[in-house]
Amino acid sequence: MPQLVTVRVKRPTGRLIRIWVPLLPVAPVLLPVLVLAALVAAVAGAVYRVRVLTALGTGWRVFSALRGTQIDVEQGRTAVLVSIR
């Protein structure tokens, strides 16, 4: 499971801003959103005849596989770099 997200923003002035977001302390804050998403997934699964537990299990595997992912976006002289560890 990913533990840390690092966001770096390189501004046009050349200044670099770094933000570290530990995921474990953020998880209890996002728990109500996750419960709501699970309920929406259950309703959508019933409507589209998809097995809800299989879909949630697949979503968890995708989330767990995010470790080591790097996303780099550049636009002109501004860059956003996201690293999931």
- Judged by DSSP in three states, 68 sits in coil
As a whole number, mean pLDDT of residues 53-59 equals: 88
Question: If we measure between CA atoms, which residue out of 5, 59, 58, 53 comes closest to residue 27?
Answer: 5
| 70-79 contacts, C-beta under 8 A, 24 or more apart | 76/12, 77/10, 77/12, 78/9, 78/10, 78/11, 78/12, 79/8, 79/9, 79/10
Q: What is the pLDDT of residues 63-80, one digit of tens each?
A: 999 999 999 999 999 999
- Amino acid in position 66: L
Q: How many other C-beta atoms can be found within 10 angstroms of the C-beta atom of residue 20?
A: 11
Residue 73 has a pLDDT of 95
Residue 49 has a pLDDT of 93
Does 20 score more than 90 pLDDT? yes
Averaged pLDDT of the chain:
92
Residue 59 has a pLDDT of 87
Q: So where are the chain's domains?
A: 4-84
Q: How far is CA 26 from the centre of its chain?
A: 11
